[in-house]
Amino acid sequence: MSAPPYLPGHGLLTGRTAVVTAAAGAGIGGATARRLLEEGARVLISDTHARRLEESARTLAAEFGAHRVAALTCDVTDEEQVGALFARAEGLHGGLDVVVNNAGLGGTADLTEMTDDQWTRVLDTTLNGTFRCTRAALRSFRAAGRGGVVVNNASVVGWRAQRGQAHYAAAKAGVMALTRCAAVEAADYGVRVNAVAPSLAMHPHLAKVTSAELLADLTAKEAFGRYAEPWEVANVIVFLASGYSSYMTGEVVPVSSQHA
């Protein structure tokens, strides 16, 4: 089964300012930045890869206007860089409205062979990085006093076991728990915090780090017999960022067609 037609924007985020981490390239972050722009938002994209980030920003600016696209290199494992990212966001267009925490790091290793460094690198980027950016977002939203939305990128692996993914699964389960706890606290000042949990969204980086055999096996488990396009995950992120999900907070929404 092929992917459905690409949906046009409907102005769901007109006038909003958004930050998207790990937004360079053709993955979920890049697709999300594009969808936010198509919905009328102004977007600050970040990534650790400066060259790819510059290329992505240039492409988006040419299509949507330089006044709506900004970029800043940021490593979410570095608190100083996270602080600089949010300071830049607060200075754009009068404030910040939406934060999409997409940065994450995977890998494959059986637990008995996994090193401390492999475990720590995945946890520091995927879970601790989401913590740092969520904390910065909530501080910014609370100080501004005008509400806001955080959308975190989790994974169905946070619920379901997969061989060789102990570090990634633990990190994504942590993102889910962080989302729920942050949502309870942030409700006090009108901020919503939710997450998406994709199953299998194909992009060039995943194809490079995952064997063809594993990708075929994972795809076979999807009810539609195909992987998701990154923009299909981005559509759900846009929904959670928009007023259409105004009563939702602390929720983790699967973006999955996996068999029960």
Active-site residue numbers?
168
Give dist(CA 154, CA 152) in Å, integer.
6
Q: Look up residue 83 and give its two tokens.
A: 């602080």
Q: At what angle do helices 79-91 and 129-144 cross, to 10 degrees?
A: 30
Q: For residues 203 and 153, is the Cβ–Cβ distance under 8 A?
A: no
C-alpha–C-alpha distance, residues 81 and 25, integer Å? 20
Composition of the chain by helix, strand, coil, percent to 5: 50, 15, 35
In one-letter notation, the amino acid at residue 131 is F
Rounded CA separation 213/28 (Å): 22
Phi, psi for residue 148 in degrees, rounded to 5: 155, 170
Q: How far apart are CA 31 and CA 205, in angstroms?
A: 14
Judge residue 76's burial from the number of C-beta atoms within 10 Å of its C-beta, 0-12 exposed, 13-18 middle, 19 or more buried: buried
Pair of tokens at residue 245: 């999900």
Q: What is the DSSP letter of 126?
A: I
